[in-house]
Chain A
Amino acid sequence: MAERVFITGMGMITAIGDTVAANLHSLRQQQSGLGYTRYLDTIYREVLPVAEVKHDDEALREMAGVPGQPQYTRTTLLGLIAMQEAWQQAGINDPLREPAGFINASTVGGMCDTERVYFDLIDPSKDGPFLQYIDTLDCADSTQRIADRMGFTGYITTISTACSSSANAIMYGARLIKQGLQRRVVCGGTEALTAFTLNGFNSLKNIDKQPCRPFDQQRNGLNLGEGAAYLVLESETLARENGSTILAELSGYCNSNEAFHPTAPSPEGDGAFAAMQQALAMSGRSIADVQYVNVHGTATLNNDVSEGKALQRLFGREVPPFSSTKPFTGHALAAAGAIEAIYSVLAIRQGIIFPNLHFSEQMEELQIVPETRLLEQQPVRTVISNSFGFGGNNASLVISKYEG
């Protein structure tokens, strides 16, 4: 019998808060993190809203405990800060006692810092401290710096499947546990805003100049965000042995592929439907058991149509309350799946359903509308969290209340 996988610690930093508690507070206050960038060097500074973490790199270095060390990129710093909270919450003091794996997710590695010095890097006549950034461009850089700083001794790797990266990291960590290769794995992702990704999505004409409006007829694209989020996963055996506080159970997951187009989902949401359906089947829950869906809901024209259709196909007339929390955090790409997995745990533990901000008009293609109110005292026992990405990569997680 495969081990059950429990969530025993969480840590995060986003535009709406530096900790899990601060995020919860902002969600309850319905306080969006969207605004104009203070730190990004781009001509879109006052044109395209982003959800930026409200500290400059130097302040983040202080928070992460590595002041004055420029080789820690913003990607790494955000990750370190979230990781330290996750360890603290899970009560991990001695990483040697139980080797922990670290499955990280990243879309563009240390691009945030590299892009500022790239043309000096390739210019032989230029020399200087920027050479410290040479090896920070790839995705492994932040993973290894975080792993080294914390003292991880188990499996260490990085996943990059665009916007579903950290959901896939969580899935991979859970599978390592289920097959007995590791008893504790910390999974999640980290993402810093970059001119590279901002221009990338803008070249796809996928960025709204207004705060994003998921599942709204007038939606016109996403807003990028940044942040990091990690979840500590433990096997049931370890959690019991260790007396861990069990926050929730990761009861199901599925990764499926659209096999349709490099960047667009299939119009009927085939991949999204398959991911949700199979993840739910694995969890042993039925559609009637789902009280909330934290949708991917990027507010791009395509995503919301296909994800909405998938919801209608799966739940029929009984679509549970669903919302996109991207109007709070922006789309934090590789970190999004882990951020929203933590929000799903919070929904269960706090009995709360988060509002889908900025919604006003039902989409003509759909019969459903997102939940726009903040609902408290809800009996939330099972949540589906969706993360879908380029390359047709769809990941759904099912997170359930721990009931023994």
Chain B
Amino acid sequence: MKVKCYIQGIAAITPQHTFEGDIFAQPLESCSSNLLSVREPDYKAYIPANSLRRMSRMLKMGLTTAIKCLQDSGLGAPGAIVTGTGKGSLQDTERFLKDIRQYNERALNPTPFIQSTYNAVNGMIAVQQQCTTYNNTFVHRGFSFEHALLDSMLLLQEGTPHTLTGAFDEMTEEHCYIKSRIGMWKTEKVNSAQLYEHPSPGTIAGEGAVFFALSARATAQSYARIAGLQLFYKPQPGFLAAALPAFLQQQGLSPRDIDLVLTGRNADSNYAHFYQQLEAPLPGACQLPFKHLCGEYETAGAFATWLAAHILKAQQAPRQWFPMVPAFPERVERILLYNHFFGEQHVLMLLERAGAHGG
């Protein structure tokens, strides 16, 4: 796609201290329960009490992140609101299922049903921002955020001045248990900070809400440019060997132009072979794994995009989060992101420093 897509604003509620303050000074948070839960801010600063009283956790997280992102961007109401979520408001879905059973289908409170709707967060942001234009929600596992991004890039190409583009997912104990029954998580408890030292079947669960304000025009405030995005559905095991060089070539780049690789590596031995293929086409490139920070979930790619944007803007990484990485590059012009969700939805994304490349 020809359109230039700049990240103009950003906000994230994640298992790390990402919502407020200087992320380069925040300690690495870890857990030993195989479930990295988000650090929730005080929502009252963002949402009036009368609105908060009915909202479930996912809605508060999503709406607050969206509001903070728009504040950060300095842009007005967005020209479109596009989001991705794998599971929507899981707590509401669980609650309504239980209410149906507990009350034998009678006298049911409609709120969990309304909020379990996957586009509930979008609707709420639209009301809050009085945004009457395009509004869409993608719900496709490891492609949820990425299609929200692709849709946003189409919108920028079509002339929408800026979009609010985000992703959110939550994990509950109950759902964690359900997914454990098909082997998604490690059976042994692992400290998330030492995740990569424990290759075995399964990984650790996570969650988060991340929003971006995207624009076709760069300003001094731009974090980064999203320069390329390619999605692969259930590719062959060895696909990266050809797909990665082809992806770079499309952007007129060679492997040497990549300063940093963000990899979705998650110590899941079932799918580790995909990540191992990154070495050959990108010899010697500095690799930053990120799943020990956010855990594995459908829209973890949004967390990685958030991280990449910060690194490109600040020209430094929050090193304290990466004790396992011995050396960081001096300058970071381009970051390649490779992530997949349990081997099915694979994503290659290229992010560039804003303004550095004639944009």
Tell me, yes or no, whether A and B come into direct contact in the complex with CB atoms closer than 8 A: yes
A residues neighboring B (CB under 8 Å): 42-44, 106-107, 115, 118-119, 121-122, 124, 131, 134-135, 138-140, 143-144, 147-148, 153, 155-162, 168, 172, 175-176, 179, 181, 195-196, 199-200, 202-204, 255-263, 270-271, 274, 389-393
In the complex the two chains form, what is the Cα distance from A106 to B117 in whole Å? 11
Are A262 and B114 CB-contacts (below 8 A) given A158-B139, A257-B131, A270-B132? yes
Those of B165-222 within 8 Å (CB) of chain A: 174, 177-179, 181-182
| Contact between chains at B114 and A263 (CB < 8 Å) | yes
- For the complex formed, measure the closest distance between the CB of B335 and the CB atoms of chain A, giving whole angstroms: 23
Are A390 and B114 CB-contacts (below 8 A) given A122-B177, A162-B119? yes
Asked if B113 is an interface residue, CB under 8 A from chain A, the answer is yes
Q: What chain A residues lie within 8 Å of B110 (beta carbons)?
A: 200, 203-204
Asked if B71 is an interface residue, CB under 8 A from chain A, the answer is no
Asked if B109 is an interface residue, CB under 8 A from chain A, the answer is yes
Are A158 and B119 CB-contacts (below 8 A) given A134-B181, A257-B132? no
Main secondary structure of the interface of B (DSSP, over half): mixed
Q: What chain B residues lie within 8 Å of A256 (beta carbons)?
A: 132-135
Q: What chain A residues lie within 8 Å of B1 (beta carbons)?
A: 179, 181
Chain B contact-residue range equals: 35 or more
**Interface CB pairs A-B, < 8 A, 29:** A42-B105, A43-B104, A121-B181, A122-B178, A135-B182, A139-B139, A140-B143, A157-B138, A158-B140, A159-B139, A160-B88, A160-B119, A161-B118, A175-B151, A179-B154, A195-B100, A196-B96, A196-B97, A196-B113, A200-B116, A255-B135, A257-B133, A259-B131, A263-B114, A271-B132, A274-B132, A389-B119, A393-B119, A393-B135
In the complex the two chains form, what is the Cα distance from A259 to B134 in whole Å? 11
| Contact between chains at A199 and B100 (CB < 8 Å) | yes
Are A160 and B139 CB-contacts (below 8 A) given A195-B100, A262-B124, A391-B117? yes
Given contacts A155-B147, A259-B127, 14 further A-B contacts (CB under 8 A): A115-B97, A122-B178, A139-B140, A161-B119, A161-B136, A162-B119, A195-B105, A204-B113, A255-B135, A256-B132, A256-B133, A259-B132, A391-B117, A391-B123
Contact of B139 among A122, A140, A181 (CB under 8 A): A140
Q: What chain B residues lie within 8 Å of A115 (beta carbons)?
A: 97, 100
In the complex the two chains form, what is the Cα distance from A172 to B147 in whole Å? 10
| Contact between chains at A203 and B108 (CB < 8 Å) | yes
Asked if B312 is an interface residue, CB under 8 A from chain A, the answer is no
Closest residue of chain A to B155, judged by CB? A175
Those of B59-116 within 8 Å (CB) of chain A: 81, 86-88, 96-97, 100-101, 104-106, 108-110, 113-116
Contact of A258 among B118, B132, B136 (CB under 8 A): B132
Contact of A172 among B114, B136, B157 (CB under 8 A): B136
- For the complex formed, measure the closest distance between the CB of B298 and the CB atoms of chain A, giving whole angstroms: 8
- For the complex formed, measure the closest distance between the CB of B117 and the CB atoms of chain A, giving whole angstroms: 5
Are A159 and B154 CB-contacts (below 8 A) given A256-B133, A259-B127? no
Are A260 and B127 CB-contacts (below 8 A) given A134-B179, A139-B118, A168-B136? yes
In the complex the two chains form, what is the Cα distance from A335 to B277 in whole Å? 40
Closest residue of chain B to A181, judged by CB? B1
In the complex the two chains form, what is the Cα distance from A155 to B181 in whole Å? 30
| Contact between chains at A391 and B119 (CB < 8 Å) | yes
Closest residue of chain A to B231, judged by CB? A155
| Contact between chains at B133 and A203 (CB < 8 Å) | no
Q: What chain A residues lie within 8 Å of B113 (beta carbons)?
A: 196, 199-200, 203-204
Those of B227-249 within 8 Å (CB) of chain A: 231, 233-234
Contact of B126 among A172, A200, A202, A257 (CB under 8 A): A257
Most buried by A among B133, B135, B174: B135
| Contact between chains at B118 and A160 (CB < 8 Å) | yes
Q: What chain A residues lie within 8 Å of B181 (beta carbons)?
A: 121, 131, 134
Q: What chain B residues lie within 8 Å of A147 (beta carbons)?
A: 233
Are A148 and B137 CB-contacts (below 8 A) given A203-B108, A258-B132, A390-B123? no
Q: What chain A residues lie within 8 Å of B127 (beta carbons)?
A: 259-262, 392
Q: What chain A residues lie within 8 Å of B86 (beta carbons)?
A: 138, 140
In the complex the two chains form, what is the Cα distance from A139 to B174 in whole Å? 19
Asked if B20 is an interface residue, CB under 8 A from chain A, the answer is no
- For the complex formed, measure the closest distance between the CB of A400 and the CB atoms of chain B, giving whole angstroms: 20
In the complex the two chains form, what is the Cα distance from A172 to B124 in whole Å? 22
In the complex the two chains form, what is the Cα distance from A92 to B81 in whole Å? 35
In the complex the two chains form, what is the Cα distance from A264 to B305 in whole Å? 35
| Contact between chains at B105 and A200 (CB < 8 Å) | no
Are A106 and B139 CB-contacts (below 8 A) given A134-B178, A175-B154? yes
| Contact between chains at B101 and A119 (CB < 8 Å) | yes
Are A179 and B157 CB-contacts (below 8 A) given A162-B119, A199-B100, A393-B123? yes
- For the complex formed, measure the closest distance between the CB of B32 and the CB atoms of chain A, giving whole angstroms: 21
Q: What chain B residues lie within 8 Å of A204 (beta carbons)?
A: 110, 113-114
Q: What chain A residues lie within 8 Å of B158 (beta carbons)?
A: 175, 179
Closest residue of chain A to B97, judged by CB? A118
